[in-house]
Amino acid sequence: MTSLAARLARPEILDLKPFDIAAEANAAFGADAIKLDANENPYPPLSSGPLAAAINRYPEPQPHRLRASMAALYGVEPDALVVTRGADDAIDMLVRAFCRPGIDAIAITAPTFTAYEHFARLQGARVIEVPLAKNFDFSADGFVAALTHQADVKLAFICSPNNPTGNEVDPALVLQVAAALPQTIIVLDEAYLDFSDTPSLAVEAAKRANLVVLKTLSKAFGLAGARIGCAIANPELVAIAARALPPYPLPSPSVEAAMATLAPARQAIHQDRIARIKAERDRLAGLLVASPIVKSVRNGGGNFLFLQVEDAEALASKLRALGIRVRFRPNAAPGAVRLTIGTEAENDVALSAFGVRNQSRPVRRAELARDTKETKIAVAVNLDRSLPRRVMTGIPFYDHMLDQVAAHGDFSLVLSCDGDLEIDAHHSIEDCAIALGSALSQALGERRGIGRFGFALPMDEAEAQVLIDLSGRPFSRFDGKFEASHIGAYPTEMTEHVFRSFSDSMRSAIHVRVEGGNDHHKTEACFKAFGRALRQAIRPEADSDMLPSTKGIL
């Protein structure tokens, strides 16, 4: 006998297959599995302390600060954007706003992201599938031809970079489709565009009658759990589509998490992480062609690779045994695997599982956020790379000094600070030194294979000497006097503080001696000599894994 629920339910609901998402596999894997199956960002958001959300109150239906931040991020006006619970929710919103059950249709490419079809079927809308061309390339002519004589195609979805194949669609082709199908709304899903070099059509979408661009903070900004995305289109379309949303769609903690993530001081780190994921994507693509199980590798514009493999079932059971999660789509893409790019260490484990030897040694890097009432700082260092170097403290002379430390120290440094400069430069200067010292200390780890060094450096008439012992014990000595009170916005008295902060946070002895006539030269000589001394101290000695101490610990 059928149950009451089954008798009352809409036939579309009963016909609907369960959502095809990576989470289906949760039960089969432990919580410690290596998760390379859902195109999440492996790095959790940088945030300290509890999220400051007043959850006793209803949230704003469209939180104006977040809407403004996302609009600024994507280069449009706030009224051209509606914030949704992830891009998934934007798809659902569009389908419910535009497709009449039993009458209207959507168009999709095949294969593509499954949510378009799912939400359309849920709404009782027809789904017209247009197969992708050879090599999964998008053919604008083919797409238009397939839809030209179809009545009531309200929405046509184009995903670029496409999930799961990674193929990108030239924006000119999207505009060509929009022009050829003026009675259809073209929905361009740019969920992965941050990982590609293709330009966005967000600004075009805000101006045109029939183009919507979807964005999400889930992938590039590491916020998959917060569920924040948006749809961008002309303001009238946005206002109509938003009527299909529930009254308070966006939970306050998610809004706060998104605001913290989009804070200006965090952007340099996001860019660094995206660059890191892209570099790993290219490294893996290069290595996986040598795998005995991989037939072909598609390195597209997303944070994932699309692989054709010899025996998908055998691979699936091997990976399951090893606790490595990747994505198989036996129906939509048989014989293929979508591999999300994880951290370097996770990727190395995945490479071995694919039978690829790789000898990447652990990278000495650290990334940290330090937030106080006075300053919000994010810093990333990589001692095994020279670039990028980007320092944004808000104090130009100090930017230059910290850049000198990284340049002469020969390490990559990304540091940004949003500080209370309206009071004075003191907090920003000191806190940046603490944050940088802590990051260096973290990156040095156990301090194996590194030495104790010093460096003396002339700069015109000035001369500075810096001695460092990465001893594990802070000690600071500073011999030197400055005549001027400031160099630009930088107070000269801070130099001594900065080196004391370095020595505390790096747990190191740092001795600085400086003399000369010109304060600018003297200050710069201190920072350069510090960088030079660090360069020697942090360089791994060729074949030594020894701790440079008879005590066996530093």
Ligand X SMILES: *Cc1c(COP(=O)(O)O)cnc(C)c1O
Candidate ranges 82-90, 240-248, 262-270, 278-286; the one touching ligand X (CB under 6 A): 82-90
The binder of ligand X chosen from 92, 117, 189, 469 (CB under 6 A) = 189
Size of the site for ligand X (CB under 6 A): 13
Between 289 and 332, whose beta carbon lies closer to ligand X?
332
The binder of ligand X chosen from 87, 99, 378, 494 (CB under 6 A) = 87
Alpha-carbon gap, residue 411 to 488, rounded angstroms: 26
Query: Which residue of the chain is nearest ligand X when measured via CB?
Result: 86
Return the SS3 of 382.
Answer: strand
Alpha-carbon gap, residue 388 to 401, rounded angstroms: 16
Please state whether 480 falls in left (phi above 0), alpha (psi between -120 and 50) or beta.
Answer: left
Between 192 and 455, whose beta carbon lies closer to ligand X?
192
**Should residue 200 be labelled a site residue for ligand X when binding is judged by CB under 6 A?**
no
Q: Give the strands of the sheet with 304-309, arranged side by side.
A: 294-298, 304-309, 333-340, 327-329
Candidate ranges 86-94, 335-343, 361-369, 539-547; the one touching ligand X (CB under 6 A): 86-94
For residue 92, the minimal CB distance to ligand X (Å) is 10
Alpha-carbon gap, residue 220 to 215, rounded angstroms: 10
For residue 412, the minimal CB distance to ligand X (Å) is 29
Tokens 């937030």 -> residue: 371
Question: Percent helix, strand, coil in the chain (nearest 5)?
Answer: 40, 20, 40
For residue 191, the minimal CB distance to ligand X (Å) is 4
The binder of ligand X chosen from 109, 200, 218, 503 (CB under 6 A) = 218
Between 59 and 86, whose beta carbon lies closer to ligand X?
86
Candidate ranges 22-30, 56-64, 84-92, 454-462; the one touching ligand X (CB under 6 A): 84-92
The binder of ligand X chosen from 45, 78, 124, 229 (CB under 6 A) = 229
**Should residue 159 be labelled a site residue for ligand X when binding is judged by CB under 6 A?**
yes
Alpha-carbon gap, residue 430 to 497, rounded angstroms: 7
**Should residue 163 be labelled a site residue for ligand X when binding is judged by CB under 6 A?**
yes
By the 8 A CB rule, do 191 and 159 touch? yes
The binder of ligand X chosen from 83, 191, 193, 337 (CB under 6 A) = 191
For residue 33, the minimal CB distance to ligand X (Å) is 19
**Should residue 41 be labelled a site residue for ligand X when binding is judged by CB under 6 A?**
no
What amino acid is encoded at 167 in this protein? Answer: N
Between 229 and 301, whose beta carbon lies closer to ligand X?
229
Tokens 């059509």 -> residue: 201
| Sign of the C-alpha dihedral computed for residues 323, 324, 329 and 330 taken in this order | negative
Between 193 and 395, whose beta carbon lies closer to ligand X?
193
For residue 218, the minimal CB distance to ligand X (Å) is 3
Please state whether 395 falls in left (phi above 0), alpha (psi between -120 and 50) or beta.
Answer: beta
Between 107 and 381, whose beta carbon lies closer to ligand X?
107
Alpha-carbon gap, residue 143 to 177, rounded angstroms: 8
DSSP character string of 436-475: HHHHHHHHHTT-TT---EEEEEEETTEEEEEEEE--SS-E
The binder of ligand X chosen from 41, 114, 200, 216 (CB under 6 A) = 216
> Minimal CA–CA distance to 147: which of 186, 188, 96, 192?
186
Q: What is the DSSP secondary structure assignment for residue 153, as one 8-state letter? A: E
> Minimal CA–CA distance to 91: which of 67, 74, 124, 113?
113
Give the ranges where 170-209 is alpha helix by DSSP (H). Answer: 171-180, 202-207
Between 301 and 491, whose beta carbon lies closer to ligand X?
301
**Should residue 21 be labelled a site residue for ligand X when binding is judged by CB under 6 A?**
no
Candidate ranges 81-89, 179-187, 326-334, 467-475; the one touching ligand X (CB under 6 A): 81-89
Give the ranges where 289-395 is alpha helix by DSSP (H). Answer: 312-322, 344-353
Between 189 and 204, whose beta carbon lies closer to ligand X?
189
Candidate ranges 216-224, 466-474, 500-508, 529-537; the one touching ligand X (CB under 6 A): 216-224
The binder of ligand X chosen from 36, 82, 88, 468 (CB under 6 A) = 88
Between 113 and 328, whose beta carbon lies closer to ligand X?
113
Q: Which residues bind ligand X (CB under 6 A)?
A: 39, 86-88, 113, 159, 163, 189, 191, 216, 218, 224, 229
